[in-house]
Structure 1
Amino acid sequence: MTLLDRNLLVDGVRLAYRDRGEGEPVVFVHGTPSWSYEWRHVVPAVEAAGHRVITYDLLGYGDSERPLDRDTSVAAQTDLLVGLLDGLGIERPSLVTHDIGGAIGQRMAVLHPQRARRLMLIDAVSYDSWPSETWREIIRTRLDSYAAMSAADFEEMLTRQLRMTVAGTMSDDDLSAYLAPHRTALGRTSFFEHQVRHYDSRYTEELTDRLGDIAMPVRIVWGAQDRWQPVGYAERLAADIPGAELVVVPHAGHFLMEDEPERVTREVLDFLSGG
Structure 2
Amino acid sequence: MFSEGFLTVFLMVVLTIGILITIVLIKGRARQQTVASLSHWSQPPSRFVEVNGLKVHYRDEGEGPVLILLHGLFSSLHTWEKWVNLLQDRYRIIRIDVPNFGLTGPFPNSKVDDQTYMQFLENFVTTLKLERFHLAGNSLGGYFAYQYASRYPQRVNRLVMLNAAGYFFIPPAALIAWGMPLLGRIADYTEAPYGLFASLVRRAYADPSKATSDEIRRYNELLHRDGNRAAGGRLIRHIRNCVGFDTSRTQLLTMPTLIMWGDQDHWIPVRHAPKYHQAIPGSELIVYPNVGHMPMEEIPEQSARDLIQFLDAAQESSVCNA
How would you bin the TM-score normalised by the shorter chain? 0.7 to 0.9
Q: Return the match for 1:26 from 35, 59, 67.
A: 67
Match of 1:220 in 2: 259
Match of 1:238 in 2: 277
The 8 Å contact of residues 75 and 203 in structure 1, kept in 2 or not, is answered as no
Q: Give the corresponding residue for 1:9.
A: 50
Cα offsets for 1:145-172 (capped at 9, x unmatched): 12562x3x25344322212100112121
Contact kept in structure 2, 1:33 and 1:162, CA below 8 Å: no
Encode CA deviations 1:118-140: one digit per residue, 9 max, x unaligned. 100000001334x6253223323
Structure 1 residue 206: deviation in Å? 3.4
Counterpart position of 2:103:
63
Aligned residue pairs total 269
Report sequence identity in percent. Answer: 25
Q: Does 1:206 align with 2:262?
A: no
Alignment partner of 2:144 out of 85, 92, 104: 104
What amino acid maps onto 2:163 in structure 1?
D
| Number of the residue aligned with 1:116 | 156
TM-score of the pair, normalised by structure 1:
0.88
Distance 1:41 1:218, change over 3 A: same
Is the CA contact 2:178–2:233 (under 8 Å) kept in the aligned structure 1?
Answer: no
> What amino acid does structure 2 have at the position aligned with 1:224?
D
Question: Structure 2 stretches of 5 or more lacking a match?
Answer: 1-40, 315-322
The separation in 2 between residues aligned to 1:201 and 1:225, in whole angstroms, is 28
Match of 1:85? 125
Q: Which runs of 5+ in 1 are unaligned?
A: none
Q: Is the 8 A contact 2:66 2:94 kept in 1?
A: yes
**From 122, 127, 134, the counterpart of 2:167:** 127
1:42 correspondence with 2:89: no
AA paired with 1:238? Answer: H
TM-score normalised over the length of structure 2: 0.76
Corresponding residue number in structure 2 for 1:162? 201
Structure 1 contact 218–243 (Cα < 8 Å) conserved: yes
* Partners of 1:142 and 1:4 in 2: CA distance: 39
User: 1:108, CA displacement in angstroms?
Assistant: 1.5
Deviates more, 1:94-103 or 1:57-66: 57-66
Once the two structures are superposed, residues 193-212 of structure 1 have per-residue CA deviations (whole angstroms, 9 ceiling, x without a partner) of 4x43444584975342x422
Contact 1:93 1:117 in 2 (8 A): yes
What root-mean-square deviation, in Å, do the aligned CA atoms of Structure 1 and Structure 2 show?
2.4
In the alignment, does 2:289 pair up with 1:250?
Answer: yes
The residue type paired with residue 26 of structure 1 is L
Distance in 2 (alpha carbons) for counterparts of 1:201 and 1:99: 19
Shift of 1:264: 2.0
For 1:13, the aligned partner's letter is L
Give deviations 1:65-97, integer Å, cap 9, x for gaps.
334533133432222111111011111210111
Give 2:219's match in structure 1, choosing from 178, 181, 203. 178
Question: Which residue identity is paired with 2:267?
Answer: W
Greater Cα radius of gyration, structure 1 or 2: 2
The 3-state SS of whatever aligns with 1:40 is: helix
Is 2:55–2:104's contact at 8 Å kept on the other side of the alignment?
A: yes
Is contact 1:36-1:62 (8 Å) kept? yes
Give the SS at the match of 2:258.
Answer: strand
Q: Is the 8 A contact 1:93 1:118 kept in 2?
A: yes
Cα distance in 2 between the residues matched to 1:17 and 1:9 = 11
Q: Distance in 2 between matches of 1:216 and 1:237?
A: 14
Letter in 2 for 1:6: R
One-letter amino acid of the structure 1 residue matched with residue 230 of structure 2: T
CA contact (8 A) 2:178 2:185 kept: no
